[in-house]
Amino acid sequence: MIITRFAPSPTGGLHLGHVYSARAAWTLARAPQPFEQRAPEQGARAASGRFVLRLEDIDTERCRPEFADAILADLAWLGLDWDGPVWRQSDRGPVYAAALAHLRDAGLAYPCFCTRADIAAAASAQHGPDGAIYPGTCRSLSDAERMARSQSMSPAWRLDVAAAAARAGPLLWHDDDAGTVAADPCAGGDIVIARRGIGAAYALAVVVDDAAQGVTDVVRGTDLFAATHVQRLLQALLGLPAPRYHHHRLVLASDGRRLAKRDTAQTIAAMRAAGATPHEIFIMLDMAPLA
Ligand code: GLU
């Protein structure tokens, strides 16, 4: 049975880009035939698969309960109904802690005490790409240094990606468009798998939860294509199955720009308030430029 998911972060209102993803995931689970022939507002339901919902709300500073409530209300209004209870990552700290402990015990995760400013300074000193790739500063700290530093600040945890990739060996993953992809997890450097004071980070939580929710098919935008490489590695290290991936093109605003959270006119809430119907929103989506 196909199980797809929609996993928004409640840091703002739902916009057209989210609905594109949610509709594509809903359609794959519910309606094997082309979406146009089985629109959710027509109440059609093939019951061939499951569509589950997960709120990725571990970032307590940016996520707000009112955004979460509004996302659920917008999805229900659109007719994108989901199966089972809504999962909230904020409820799942102990599960992520166990996954982190597994990676730490395997010697593949290390504490990082760097601030954003430290990372930017180190990267620019090395003429690196603007702090995007972590330069590995804390990878080789001694146990004594780690102990001393953790007296004054709680660390983030990073994956030692080269060691992890060597441990896991070559890995493949499947993408609908790209076909069989050889995982290249090192390209993104030693990613954070647990943020300071939070105990988890997106890459760790997403693989743990996709597996725990039994997701067979991940449907999401091409902006997350590159992130899949290291997610595949984390799946291998944690003994989790690899779902199939469907990375879809991104919805652009009518002027061709990428949709941003600040484009509040493009939120579903704003369109609803202006009198749009779900059907009109789906038509708008069908006509929207894609990148
Ligand atoms: N929570 C992520 C976001 O809203 C999506 C994660 C995913 O689909 O893997 O961008």
Domain containing residue 55: CATH number: 3.40.50.620
Task: Kindly report the pTM of this predicted structure.
Answer: 0.92
Same structural domain for residues 54 and 132? no
Same structural domain for residues 123 and 158? yes
Q: Which of 194, 212, 240 is the last residue of a domain?
A: 194
**Structural domain boundaries enclosing 99:** 94-194
Determine the residue type at 114. Answer: C
Same structural domain for residues 24 and 109? no
**Mean pLDDT (the chain, rounded):** 91
Nearest-CA residue for atom 7 of ligand 1: 7
Tell me what pLDDT residue 121 has. Answer: 80
CB atoms within 10 A of CB 19: 25
At 129, the pLDDT band (50, 70, 90 cuts) reads very low
How far is it, in rounded angstroms, from Cα 173 to Cα 98? Answer: 25
Average pLDDT over residues 267-286: 95
Q: Is 122 within the bounds of a domain?
A: yes
Give the number of the atom of ligand 1 that is nearest the alpha carbon of residue 227. Answer: 9
Tell me what pLDDT residue 117 has. Answer: 85
Residue 167: burial class (beta carbons within 10 Å; 0-12, 13-18, 19+): middle
Average pLDDT over residues 136-154: 96
Q: Is 245 within the bounds of a domain?
A: no
Q: Is 186 within the bounds of a domain?
A: yes
Q: Is 228 within the bounds of a domain?
A: no
* Cα-to-centroid distance, 54 and ligand 1 (Å): 10
CB atoms within 10 A of CB 210: 24
Residue 158: burial class (beta carbons within 10 Å; 0-12, 13-18, 19+): buried
Give the number of the atom of ligand 1 that is nearest the alpha carbon of residue 56. Answer: 1
How many structural domains are present in the chain?
Answer: 2
Q: Is 23 within the bounds of a domain?
A: yes
How far is it, in rounded angstroms, from Cα 283 to Cα 43? Answer: 16
Q: Is the pLDDT of residue 37 over 70?
A: no
Q: What Cα–Cα distance (Å) separates residue 152 from each residue in 45, 119, 134?
A: 55, 19, 22
Same structural domain for residues 185 and 99? yes
Q: What Cα–Cα distance (Å) separates residue 196 from each residue in 46, 111, 193, 223?
A: 44, 9, 10, 25
Tell me what pLDDT residue 54 has. Answer: 98
- Show Cβ contacts of residue 255 under 8 Å, excluding neighbours closer than 6 positions: none
Same structural domain for residues 138 and 183? yes
Same structural domain for residues 171 and 184? yes
What is the arrangement of strands in the sheet containing 50-55, beginning at the earlier edge strand? 87-88, 50-55, 3-6, 217-221, 244-248, 172-175, 179-182
Average pLDDT over residues 168-196: 97
Same structural domain for residues 83 and 135? no
Q: Is 188 within the bounds of a domain?
A: yes
Among the ranges given (23-27, 166-170, 287-291), the one the predictor scored with the smallest mean pLDDT: 287-291
Give 82-116 pLDDT, tens digit per residue: 999 999 999 999 999 999 999 999 999 999 999 98
Average pLDDT over residues 165-174: 98
Q: Is the pLDDT of residue 156 over 90?
A: yes
Tell me what pLDDT residue 47 has. Answer: 52
Tell me what pLDDT residue 42 has. Answer: 47
Q: Is 164 within the bounds of a domain?
A: yes
* Cα-to-centroid distance, 127 and ligand 1 (Å): 30
* Cα-to-centroid distance, 224 and ligand 1 (Å): 8
CB atoms within 10 A of CB 149: 16
State whether residue 10 is helix, strand or coil: coil
Ligand 1 binding site (Cβ under 6 Å of any ligand atom): 7-9, 56, 206, 220, 224
How far is it, in rounded angstroms, from Cα 28 to Cα 30? Answer: 6
Among the ranges given (83-92, 105-114, 199-208, 262-271), the one the predictor scored with the smallest mean pLDDT: 262-271
